[in-house]
Amino acid sequence: MPRAFVTGASGQDGSYLVERLLDEGYDVHALALEGEGAASARVSTHVGDVADVERIRALLLDLDPHEVYNLAAVSSVARSWEEPDLTSRVNGLAAAALLESAFQVQERHGHAVRFVQASSAEIFGEPTVSPQDETTPIRPINPYGAAKAYAHLMVGVYRQRGVHAVSAILYNHESPRRPPHFVTRKITAGVAAILRGETDTITLGNLDARRDWGWAPDYVDAMVRAARAPRAADYVVATGEGRTVRDFVTAAFDYAGVTQWEQHIKVDPALVRPADVTDLTGDSSKARAELGWAPTLSFEDVVSRMVEGDRANS
């Protein structure tokens, strides 16, 4: 039975990934922080912190996995400004340690370990080209992006060293499991609360920020495909379509049948970020050509599934 090790298993992507690997018959081992709970009863959950590098190394050498997915991260840019040192350890250093552990598993057990790093479009910072691809210069502008950039570079280093190491450069990807501090979920939860009469307004920051928003399970699919591809590489995973926060708001209210949405939106300058990437759109031609990957849901479908999810959560 193939064995997989997943960090960040209780997050949005981790939960979809674990479900998929279990369906495929994998023996799934998940790393979760104390109190996060198991992603599923069928998973072997190991309580621990990915930044506890000695312990994780011993665990990996013992488990001897065939696939390692590193999804654990301080996942918000805003939090990375509040805790830049923690972000460096979790998003950067821990990835380097996991790569070295994967290398040591290969040396000790004599089989390939396929390693996928969940990287981020934030490594490109404020890019001067749009859309971005795998050749776009890495110039992060926040602690989150800088730590992810270090991990991305270490993937390249360990690929040279003989590990099937993949960096999946993921653009924003959403689902009903997205935590509510992300703007998409904040909007869909807000629309559902307005429909229930619990509130009248949603307070947001920059409505003109543009993101390439995809469907999280599709991004998990890209990571699995890259893990199992004949050759390891970096892949941009994106839809290629940029939409503004305002577009997201419009689509969410449209789906809910509310036409006069302007009265429900307030802008609070305090929510506008000091340094914000205002346009991130990815060119995923390489993933489409080499991995046979393609997004399965349109922007409108992602929005409607999220509104539906929040309407069902009363």
Pairing of strands 114-120, 210-211: unpaired
Which is closer to ligand GDP, CB of 48 or CB of 205?
A: 205
Which is closer to ligand GDP, CB of 233 or CB of 306?
A: 306
Which is closer to ligand GDP, CB of 52 or CB of 279?
A: 279
Catalytic-labelled residue, pool 144, 171, 235, 255: 144
Which is closer to ligand GDP, CB of 44 or CB of 199?
A: 199
Which is closer to ligand GDP, CB of 115 or CB of 248?
A: 248
Q: How far apart, in whole angstroms, are the C-alpha atoms of residue 132 and residue 128?
A: 9
If we measure between CA atoms, which residue out of 273, 312, 5, 309 comes closest to residue 175?
A: 309
CB of 135 to ligand GDP, least distance (A): 22
CB of 58 to ligand GDP, least distance (A): 33
User: Is 120 a catalytic site residue?
Assistant: yes
CB of 76 to ligand GDP, least distance (A): 6
CB 281 within 8 A of CB 132: yes
> In 3-state terms, what secondary structure has residue 55?
helix
DSSP string, 214-277: EEHHHHHHHHHHHHHSSS--EEEE--S--EEHHHHHHHHHHHTT-S--GGGEEE-GGGS-SS--
Catalytic-labelled residue, pool 67, 122, 235, 304: 122
CB of 272 to ligand GDP, least distance (A): 7
Which is closer to ligand GDP, CB of 208 or CB of 300?
A: 208
User: Is 144 a catalytic site residue?
Assistant: yes
CB of 187 to ligand GDP, least distance (A): 8
Q: How many residues does the chain have?
A: 314
61-100 as b/e, with b when 16 or more CB fall inside 10 Å? Answer: eebebbbbbbbbbbbebeebeeebeebbbbbbbbbbbbbb
Q: How far apart, in whole angstroms, are the C-alpha atoms of residue 186 and residue 265?
A: 12
Residues of this chain that bind ligand GDP (CB under 6 A): 77, 172, 181-184, 186, 204-206, 209, 211, 245, 271, 273, 276
If we measure between CA atoms, which residue out of 145, 146, 120, 129 comes closest to residue 234?
A: 120
Catalytic-labelled residue, pool 80, 119, 120, 175: 120
CB of 172 to ligand GDP, least distance (A): 5
DSSP string, 155-170: HHHHHHTT-EEEEEEE
Which residue has the closest beta carbon to ligand GDP?
209
Q: Which residues are catalytic?
A: 120, 122, 144
